[in-house]
Homo-oligomer: A and B are copies of this chain.
Amino acid sequence: MLRVGLLGAGRIGRVHAQAIAAHPKSQLCAVSDAVADAAESLASEYGAAVRSSGEIIADPSIDAILIATPTDTHSDLIETATQAGKAVLCEKPVDLSLERALACKSVAEASGQPVMVGFNRRFDPSFSSLKSAVDNGEIGAPEMLALTSFDPAPPPVSYIKVSGGLFRDMMIHDFDMANYLMGQLPQQISAVGSSLVDPAIGAAGDVDTAVVTMTYADGRIAVIKNSRRATYGYDQRIELLGSGGLLQAKNILENAVVKSTADGVTGAKPTYFFLERYLPAYRAEWDAFVQAALSGAAMPVTLDDGVAALAMAEAATRSAQSGRPVGMDEVLKPVAK
């Protein structure tokens, strides 16, 4: 039985609390949040204690820490939790600063404690099934990857302002998915972005519509499309062309009803937003963490993965701003020891 302390009782913290409680081998023991009411409400629902994050991390009866706090606290919490001997699952992104994330990784590695980064999409049943098909050689050698990720509606501009920008906040999932499916880092990244959805996003210095092209040392190509608004719902698709065929992961629909009338043949929209769309993924992610934490096996997603995606987001941000392709070495070399 894994005894878990949850740091952060917001929207994503609640999703994790449910997964922790539902898992036969984990127990939600303590919850912290800067907003006392949020912590109280969540803790009482699951019979957990409310405590500060410091107390939870210091408690020797706690085995694992789930970090679901604001991004700017992630690195510090990973460091103190691993130094306190805890296994850690931290929500993405590790940090908005690549340099800070790399420093955090050094500290965590020195502690010897396992850290998993919450790239939940790797655990989506369709995406992991697609990955298996690739690994089984069902489409031969992968050649061209295309990821489509459209949110149903943009977040408030107040959130945009502290988000680190679309590439670090939203596309970071796609960068990790590219690494997961292509099995290596790209060599070069070329990004274009615009503010078409909400002028306030542009005024805040961010983009809401973007396309990123990535090239690999062996000539393969990946392209990512992001938009902050798809009026029909949460659009999450993958296409991978290989020497032997094409794999696609299509959208998950709200239901399987189709209506045919004089106006056409109409089916349901994609499931609305990430909590519903990726619920099975969050469950499977937690299960993978519990299995690894209890068995001592390697974490399926590591701080290396978190740093890699962050470096790609950094390169994309620079490319969109400068209007030229940015090599990954240009981003990684200056911060490497």
A-side residues, CB < 8 A to B, are: 22, 125-126, 129-130, 133, 138-141, 143-144, 146, 148, 150, 190, 192, 194-197, 209-211, 213, 215, 219-221, 223, 225, 227, 229-233, 235, 241, 243-269, 323-325
Contact = CB atoms under 8 A, between A and B. Distances in A.
Contacts of A138: 259, 261
B211 A223 contact: yes
Contacts of A125: 254-255
B262 A265 contact: no
A230 B211 CA distance: 23
Contacts of A230: 241, 245-246, 260
13 contacts: A141-B196, A192-B213, A211-B221, A227-B241, A230-B246, A232-B245, A235-B246, A246-B259, A247-B258, A247-B260, A260-B269, A264-B269, A265-B266
Nearest to A245: B261
Count of identical protomers in the assembly:
4
A129 B256 CA distance: 9
Q: Which of A133, A233, A255, A262 has the most CB of B within 10 A?
A: A255
Nearest to A195: B219
Contacts of A144: 209, 211, 225, 227
Contact of A249 (B141, B256, B266): B256
Given A227-B241, A256-B250, A194 B209 contact: no
A259 B245 contact: yes
Nearest to A238: B257
Contact of A267 (B213, B257, B264): B264
10 interchain residue pairs of minimum CB distance = A194-B219, A245-B261, A232-B260, A126-B255, A246-B260, A126-B256, A250-B256, A264-B266, A266-B266, A248-B258
Given A255-B125, A261-B139, A232 B211 contact: no
Nearest to A191: B213
B264 A268 contact: yes
A261 B231 contact: yes
Given A223-B223, A235-B246, A324-B325, A265 B259 contact: no
Nearest to A244: B231
Contacts of A129: 255, 257, 268
Given A247-B258, A258-B248, A241 B150 contact: yes
Given A138-B261, A144-B227, A232-B264, 11 more contacts: A22-B22, A143-B197, A192-B213, A194-B215, A211-B221, A230-B246, A231-B245, A232-B265, A235-B246, A247-B257, A247-B260
A209 B219 contact: yes
Contact of A143 (B227, B257, B267): B227
A256 B251 contact: yes
A256 B133 CA distance: 13
A35 B239 CA distance: 43
Listed residue (A133, A221, A246, A256) with the most chain B CB atoms within 10 angstroms of its CB: A256
